[in-house]
Structures are given as structure tokens and as C-alpha cells.
Amino acid sequence: MNIIQRETDHCEPRHNDARPSILIMHYTETIGPQKADGYFRGKIEHPTGGRVSTHYMIDEDGTIVQYVDESMRAWHAGVSYWDGIEDINSHSIGIELVNPGRKHGYRAFRPAQMMALIELAKDIMNRHEISPHRVLGHSDIAPERKSDPGELFDWKMLSALDVGIWPTPSQEDYKIANDYVRDPQNLKDAFIRAGYDPKANLTDLITAFQRHYTPEVFSHSAQGNGNQGEIDRNAAARLNWLIRHKPTR
């Protein structure tokens, strides 16, 4: 795997001797890689006014650039949470995929980019023993703030190649799903058991989950696939499958 190395001082030691146990996917929300590169290296001021970085960036042609050593804490997750962890940056490795995002014309990720991602992600997961259940999107860990990598990111395809997971609910999952659909508190508790932030708004949790696990609800041409931000049996059954298959720590 050919990886270009670029230096940045936008990093620091991981807090409390934490080790990577989560892999986070992002998109750059830039037209091309140049502006994102400037953000990560401190050459261009980020729109938030803060200093940001990532461990890796993958261009649309599959070129991989590394900015921060995996032993260090990159600044990619921001305020976020997963399964009891609030300092996600100390416990994760971040991968940014060059994509215009919602500000500049969100589009499907390129095949060469996804193939490079699969090779890189599998290598990271193997070396750090990261569970497929902990391969997540930025929107999973920050559902009230973020929507990347979004509904056009092919999580199902990645799962088929052992990067992340894709739920395949049973009839029992669909039976339990009825309880989630009827009872918002039961549904919120289920999201928390899966790992999502207990402080997040339920509608934002549903939307983040849909972006990852039921992206069909975002298709304008699809009919009968549910509504954005509203739980249905299909999404609820997939949520219950995740809970049932969640590994112990």
C-alpha cells in the first residue's frame, strides 16, 4: 500500500494512554483535496476557526495521505460519544474521504477511493484489533452535529468485505421492533444500548442510524421505505440486530 506522508503539528499524545479501538469515517466537504490538506496542516484556516486534523485522507483517485501517526491523537471527531467513551479522539483513528459533501454537491464515493479505503481500513483493524462493530461514521458519534460520510457511503459493500457490519434481522428482531416503534423511550434505550449518545435528541439518533443502516429512506425515487427521522420496523429490526450481536468489551 503506497501512503504519502505529510507533516502536521495538529496532533498530540493520546490521553490517559488510550489505544485505538474505534475507526471513524468522514468526508472532507471540500472540492478536491487541496483545501482539506490546508486545514489539516494549518495552512488554511478552518471554517470553524479551530485546528483540525486526521490520521489519513483518501482522494477520489485512491491516493492515500497520512498526516498523523496512529500512535498520536488527531483532531477529527470533535465533541462526540460512543458506548461510554467521550474522548473519541484518544480512542480512534480517523479517515477522511475527499468528497464535496452537502455544502458543495454531495455525490457517491468513487470506486478507486472505496477500494483504497477497504485496504487501509482492513490493515488498521487487523493491527489494532478493532471490532467491525466499532467501524463508524462521524454522524454515529456526533448525531446532532454531523451527517458524514452520509447515505451515499456504501456501508453494505464494506461489510461484505469485512469492514464494518451490516444487519440482517431475523423474524425475532422484527417482533421486538414493534415495541421500539410504539414506545419512544424503549427506542431511545435501544439506541443507548447499541452505543449511541444518551444525550442526543431521538430524531437525530434515528436520522444518523438511517444514514448508516437504512440509507434507502433518503432516496427520492424510492417509495415505501420510511421517512427520514422517523423510526419504522425495518430500521428498528436492524437496530435490535446490532444490539444482539454487539460484542462484549
Strand partners, 179: none
Rounded CA-CA distance 200/186 in Å is 15
DSSP secondary structure of 95-149: EEE---HHHH---PPPHHHHHHHHHHHHHHHHHHT--GGGEEEHHHH-TTT---S
**Phi, psi for 200 (deg, rounded to 5):** -75, 150
Rounded CA-CA distance 71/224 in Å is 46
Rounded CA-CA distance 216/227 in Å is 10
Kindly give, in sequence order, each residue whose CB lies less than 8 Å from that of residue 62, ignoring residues fewer than 6 positions away.
110, 112, 113, 115, 116
**Three-state DSSP class for residue 227:** coil
Rounded CA-CA distance 44/51 in Å is 10
CA torsion 177-206-221-105 (nearest 10°) is -160
Task: Give 43's DSSP letter.
Answer: S
b/e code 211-229 from CB counts within 10 Å (16+ = b):
bbbbbebbeeeeeeebeee
Please give the positions annotated as active site.
96
